[in-house]
Amino acid sequence: MIIAKRAARATTHLRLKRGLSSRASGILSALNIPTNQEISGVYDGQWKGSGEVVESVCPTTGEILARINTASPADVSGALTKSREAYLQFRDVPAPRRGEILRQIREGLAIKREELGALVTLEMGKIRTEGVGEVQEFIDICDYAVGLSRMMNGRVVASERPGHTILEVPNPLGVVAVLSAFNFPVAVYGWNLALSLAAGNATIWKPSPTTPLTSIAVTSIVAKVLEKNNLPGALAGLVTGGQPVGEVLVGSKEVELVSFTGSERVGRIVGQAVVSRFGKSILELGGNNASIVMPDADLSLAVPGVFFGAVGTAGQRCTSTRRLFLHRDIADEFLERLQKLYGALKPGDPLETDTLLGPMHTPAAVNLYKSTIDYLRSIDADILFGGKEYDVTPYDGGNFVQPTIAVPKSVDMSDRIWSTETFAPILNVAIFDELEEAIRWNNAVPQGLSSSLWTRDLRNVGKWTGPSGSDAGIVNVNAGTSGAEIGASFGGNKSTGWGRESGGDAWKQYVRWSACTINFSNEAPLAQGVNFNVD
Ligand code: NAD
């Protein structure tokens, strides 16, 4: 039996070795990812993986990039134990020392920035500058967290009692599980790891089952730094795999904080599971983002802004522009100019520097695109551009679709075409007469991630950013819905989950807060003048 298994494995290795294109093998070798054997997808200080074997498939060519040994239930529970031990050691390391570790991780990432970016492109399918941009985002948040490690301050609160002082003290939280989506296979983990490590926690990562190689390459870089500093590798553990692996982490009392990025459907399950055991969660879920273009907008900014928002990453960003509300006065001109840009777009290999449109991530994503186009046709929407798959020679094994602009007849925002996030490059357009109407539409969907208004009129800006304005977590003016920076906290409201990550005050979620009253007097008065003396 064992011999038969070995023989089967040997054949697999041979097939892998022969099958891999030089396009792929160059990138994998530059990151020391073996191309002739199955790869360990679990790291808890040691590399292992005794669970299901999954394939990493290139969305551009359809070729199998590698086979990965993912985590078994025993691997996950072993990794959680190691994470706990690592936390118990790390929590006593002073925060600025933890910052120094992050500085070294930042250096490790910077050295491999281009290679790692190329791997993101190879495995996820986004274009090269976006792949490298994601790694840059991880580098940036490390810089931020290095500074933060000297500024994660509590507060001194004025006490009403004489001779007393109250401190609000942040301490490390414990083990943080990061469950991430396929479309940002580096940056989302980076945002979490940087803040979590700076805060003194151990982090355990379950990436998307379709981007295991990227997570292995990132973890290898981080692990080397930990090793060099004699710190336990389980401070940055990795458990690859699918839903069952995620479920163990989400349900485990050993995990103080679950930071989940993914769809609303799964986020709802995860949120409920975590709250049922009184754990903490950060939910970063789907977006259904709108751009509103006023008649006074500078169209030379607005048209390319909407174009990038709708088509960038082949429409697979949580912040992608999915709804476009055009003022009647500029609608025709706007759509004409937008269609010209769509027409100039050429799909191709996202690794090539001049490609702007790569593939969808999976064949399932293509099916979602196709069924949504069918639905648009069934409701008699005008399809102004696109609506089909692309045959991209020589990448006929790839998942290419035409970015689509549609004008549904109805502007009823409760119709599924408006109210659900379709994770594909489909932009639905509606025409409005008054800003208030467009803001109402903007707010009328369950999601509340990103939104953008194009105008040069200060009065519109005030309305848009004020109490009767956009109810999203990201409210932009003359900037598209996608393309956030790490300095501000990132996240959405309503069914996007209310989570905040990255900059701003996001770090405060990665610590446990204690209010500490210290009496340095010779009396012990009670607050609010309460008297509890027996005599
Ligand atoms: P998904 O919800 O299918 O998967 C996300 C993660 O959850 C994966 O790691 C998956 O393996 C895991 N998972 C699945 N079922 C689980 C369960 N029952 N318990 C625990 N874990 C489980 O999402 P996806 O298709 O990978 O990503 C696309 C979605 O992510 C889109 O909706 C997009 O808007 C969203 N997203 C949101 C943000 C944000 O910051 N708001 C960022 C990126 C992506």
Q: Residue 13: pLDDT above 50?
A: no
% residues pLDDT > 70 (the chain): 96
- Best residue among 54, 178, 243 to mutate for probing ligand 1's pocket (most ligand atoms within 8 Å of CB) is 243
Pull the structure tokens for residue 304: 């390319």
Q: How many Å lie between the centroid of ligand 1 and the Cα of residue 75?
A: 22
**Cα Rg of the chain (Å, integer):** 25
Tokens of 315: 């429409």
C-alpha distances in angstroms, 519 versus 114, 156, 166, 306, 381?
A: 56, 13, 9, 59, 70
As given in the structure block, the two tokens for residue 350 are 């996202």
pLDDT value at residue 19: 66
Q: Which of 318, 489, 490, 502 to mutate to test the pocket of ligand 1 (most atoms within 8 A of CB)?
A: 318
H/E stretch holding 417: helix 416-419
Are residues 504 and 489 in contact, defined by beta-carbon separation less than 8 angstroms?
Answer: yes
Question: Cα–Cα distance between 8 and 14 in angstroms, integer?
Answer: 10
Cα of 268 to ligand 1 centre, how many Å?
Answer: 11
Report how far ligand 1's centroid is from the alpha carbon of 63 (Å).
Answer: 24
H helix intervals, 149-278 = 187-198, 212-228, 243-251, 264-276
CB 102 within 8 A of CB 149: yes
Please report which confidence band the pLDDT of residue 396 belongs to, taking 50, 70 and 90 as the band edges: confident
Compute the distance from residue 283 Cα to the ligand 1 centre, in Å: 10
Average pLDDT over residues 285-298: 98
Q: Return the ligand 1 atom nearest residue 250 CA.
A: 20
Q: What's the pLDDT at 1?
A: 30
Give me the pLDDT at residue 16, please. 45
Residue 14 pLDDT: 39
At residue 394, the pLDDT reads: 83
Q: What is the pLDDT of residues 436-463, one digit of tens each?
A: 999 999 999 999 999 999 999 999 999 9
Average of per-residue pLDDT across 57-71: 97
What are the structure tokens assigned to 108, written together? 């490790």
What are the Cα distances from residue 22, in Å, to 347, 389, 412? 21, 26, 50
Which DSSP string do the residues of 268-291 spell out, in sequence order?
HHHHHHHHHTT-EEEEE----EEE
**Ligand 1 atom with the shortest distance to the CA of 179:** 9
Distance of CA 230 to the CA centre of its chain: 30
Active site residues: 284
Token reading at 23: 């396009």
Spatial contact of 413 and 441, defined as CB atoms under 8 Å apart: yes
Model pLDDT, residue 7: 38
Report the distance separating Cα 31 and Cα 68, nearest Å. 16
Beta strands 164-172 and 175-179 are unpaired
In this prediction, residue 470 carries a pLDDT of: 98
Q: Of all protein residues, whose CA lies closest to atom 35 belonging to ligand 1?
A: 262
Atom from ligand 1 closest to the CA of residue 319: 34
Residue nearest to atom 20 of ligand 1 (CA): 246
Residue 509 CB contacts under 8 Å (≥ 6 apart), including other chains: 257, 280, 282, 500
CB 407 within 8 A of CB 432: no
Give the model's confidence band at 390: pLDDT under 50 very low, under 70 low, under 90 confident, else very high. Answer: confident
Question: What is the per-residue pLDDT for 35?
Answer: 85
Whether the bond between 347 and the residue before it is cis, its omega within 30 degrees of 0, is: no
The predicted structure's pLDDT at residue 395: 86
Could you give the percent of the chain with pLDDT greater than 90?
93
Helix (H) or strand (E) holding 165: strand 164-172
Distance of alpha carbon 102 from alpha carbon 139, whole angstroms: 9
Bridge partners (DSSP) listed for residue 259: 178, 282
Quote the CA–CA distance of 347 and 125 in Å, as a whole number.
12
Q: Mean pLDDT across the stretch 484-503?
A: 97
Which residue ranges have their beta carbon within 6 Å of ligand 1?
A: 179-184, 206, 208-209, 242-243, 246-247, 250, 261-263, 266, 269-270, 284-287, 318, 421, 423, 449, 492, 496
Is residue 454 classed as helix, strand or coil in its secondary structure? strand
41/483: higher pLDDT: 41
Q: Is residue 15 scored above 70 in pLDDT? A: no
Closest residue to atom 43 of ligand 1, CA basis: 318
Compute the distance between CA of residue 138 and CA of residue 133 in angstroms, rounded to an integer.
9
Per-residue pLDDT tens over the stretch 16-32: 444 688 899 999 999 99
178, β-bridge pairs: 205, 259
User: Model confidence over 179-232: pLDDT tens digits?
Assistant: 999 999 999 999 999 999 999 999 999 999 999 999 999 999 999 999 999 999
What average pLDDT does the segment 133-156 reach? 98
Determine the pLDDT at residue 452.
98
Provide the token pair at 210: 């379709």
Q: How many CB atoms lie within 10 A of CB 273?
A: 18
Nearest to 185 by CA among 115, 135, 222: 135
Which one, of 377, 430, 424, lies nearest residue 407 by Cα?
A: 430
Checking if the pLDDT of 295 tops 70, the result is yes
Give the DSSP per-residue string, 366-391.
HHHHHHHHHHHHHTT-EEEE--SB--
Amino acid at 77: S
Q: With 60 as the cut, is the pLDDT of residue 8 above it?
A: no
Cα of first residue to Cα of last residue in the chain, in angstroms, is 84
* Centre of ligand 1 from the C-alpha of residue 65, in Å: 22
Distance from C-alpha of 79 to C-alpha of 202, rounded to nearest angstrom? 11
Q: Is the pLDDT of residue 6 over 50?
A: no
At 10, list the tokens: 């040997």
For residues 261 and 487, give the distance between their C-alpha atoms in angstroms, rounded to a whole number: 19
Nearest CA among 322, 395, 331 for reference residue 357: 395
Across the range 115-133, mean pLDDT stands at 98
Residue range 337-372, pLDDT digits in tens: 999 999 999 999 999 999 999 999 999 999 999 999
Q: Does residue 323 carry a pLDDT above 60?
A: yes
pLDDT in tens, 399-433: 999 999 999 999 999 999 999 999 999 999 999 99
Mean pLDDT (the chain) is 95
